[in-house]
Structure 1
Amino acid sequence: MIRLSEVQKSFGSNAVLRGVNLEVAKGTSTVVIGGSGTGKSVLLKCILGLVTPDSGRIEVAGKDITTQPRDEFLARFGMLFQGGALFDSLPVWQNVAFRLLRGELKRPKAEARDIAIEKLRRVGLTPDVADRLPAELSGGMQKRVSLARAIAANPEIIFFDEPTTGLDPIMSGVINDLIREIVSEMGATAITITHDMSSVRAIADRVAMLHKGKIRWEGPISEMDASNDPYVDQFIHGRAHGPIETVR
């Protein structure tokens, strides 16, 4: 579904992506791991077309993303943003139905509200939440609303950017389980970026480690612990000592 070939991106003298090669099969869940500042978010932005690579090629469903009509292309994606990124001034149901109330995906208001309530139910929230404002919800509930928004338009591809940031371990587990269930039910292709190894183990079919702008290791989750790669081993076990440089 997604193929990156020798993708490079620099910002001034800072080379962030230095020749990324990655394939994500249709209907699978890939988690990209790596330290802060290794280019994980830039990678997602390049796939979405929000950032233009300096060189290389990115294909979605076999087509170069630069040749696809913009609105039609973006309609294939859903996204769970780090921190939720809900609109404070809109009630929950309008946050969930945001894409369904405008643009090419526009639906009648009543239909959009019904879909929003259905998606809220899918993430474990009751209909009475629909008319509340995001500030009236707990962090875990806000994250569920964000997940409902990501799936509202039944996208083919879903990106999850640090989905458990700011959540306690129990709620993190709940969100991880929901993501896994929903991606499987929808048959969606998913890419997640995270530092949370519990998320990696719960969500991933395959894992790719991004280090110094390149994919250092990539393979099925079942092989991660036995990768024999010292960079992967240090990262997944959170060791201070190893080949990955740490700031002291």
Structure 2
Amino acid sequence: MITLEGVHKSFGPKRVLRGVDLNIERGQSMVIIGGSGTGKSVLLKCILGLIRHDSGTITLEGEDVLTAERDAFLARFGMLFQGGALFDSLAVWQNVAFRLLRGSLKRPMAEAREIAIEKLRRVGLTPDVADLFPSELSGGMQKRVGLARAIAAEPDVIFFDEPTTGLDPIMAGVINELIREIVVEMGATAMTITHDMSSVRAIADRVAMLHDGVVKWEGPVARMDDATDPYLHQFITGSADGPIEAVR
């Protein structure tokens, strides 16, 4: 569904992506791992066309992301942001229904609210939460609201950017389980960026290790622990010894 071939991206003299090749099949859950500053978020933004890559090609079902009609293209994506990114001045249901209240996906307000409440239920939140504001919610509840917003418009592709950041281990497990269930239910294609290996094991069908601007290893999550690639092994074990140098 998503194909990257020889993707490069630099910011001045800093080369971030140095020839990324990656295929993500329809309905597959791909998790991208790698250290901070290895280009994971830049890669995601390039796929969305928010950043123009310097060379190489990125296609969604054969259509170049840079030439696709923007509204129709972006309508196919949902996004769970790392920090939640909820609008403080909007009620919870308005956050969830944000895309349904404007643009090409616009629905009547009553219908948008009904969809929002249904999606809140799907992530384990009761209807009374709908009229609260983000500041009245715990971190875990805010993450659930963000997940409800990501799926509100029934997207074909969902991106998860560090979905468990800032959560305690129990709530992180709940969010991981919700993500996996929802992706399977919707038949959506998922791409997750994370440092959390428990998330990798819970969410992934396949894993790609990004380091120094290229994919060092890619394969099924079931083969990850037995892989001999030294970069992958060092990352998943958290060892200080290996080819990845710690930034001091």
TM-score, with normalisation over the residues of structure 1? 0.99
The answer to whether structure 1 residue 154 and structure 2 residue 173 are counterparts is: no
How far apart are the structure 1 equivalents of 2:149 and 2:236? 30
Aligned match of 1:212: 212
Unaligned runs of 5+ in 1: none
Q: Deviations over 1:152-195 (max 9, x none)?
A: 00000000000000000000000000000000000000000000
Unaligned runs of 5+ in 2: none
Partners of 2:25 and 2:189 within 8 A in 1: yes
The answer to whether structure 1 residue 136 and structure 2 residue 142 are counterparts is: no
Aligned match of 1:97: 97
Read off the aligned partner of 1:83 and give its amino acid letter. Answer: G
How far apart are the structure 1 equivalents of 2:51 and 2:218? 24
Q: CA deviation at 1:63?
A: 1.1
The answer to whether structure 1 residue 170 and structure 2 residue 170 are counterparts is: yes
Partners of 2:17 and 2:39 within 8 A in 1: yes
How far apart are the structure 2 equivalents of 1:2 and 1:160? 15
Read off the aligned partner of 1:86 and give its amino acid letter. Answer: L
Aligned match of 2:57: 57
% identical equivalent positions: 76
Aligned match of 1:7: 7
Aligned match of 1:21: 21
Q: CA deviation at 1:65?
A: 1.3
Q: CA deviation at 1:66?
A: 1.9
Q: Deviations over 1:195-231 (max 9, x none)?
A: 0000000000000000000000000001100110111
Q: How many residues align?
A: 248
Read off the aligned partner of 1:128 and give its amino acid letter. Answer: D
TM-score, with normalisation over the residues of structure 2? 0.99
How far apart are the structure 1 equivalents of 2:48 and 2:66? 10
How far apart are the structure 2 equivalents of 1:241 and 1:142? 37
Q: CA deviation at 1:247?
A: 2.1
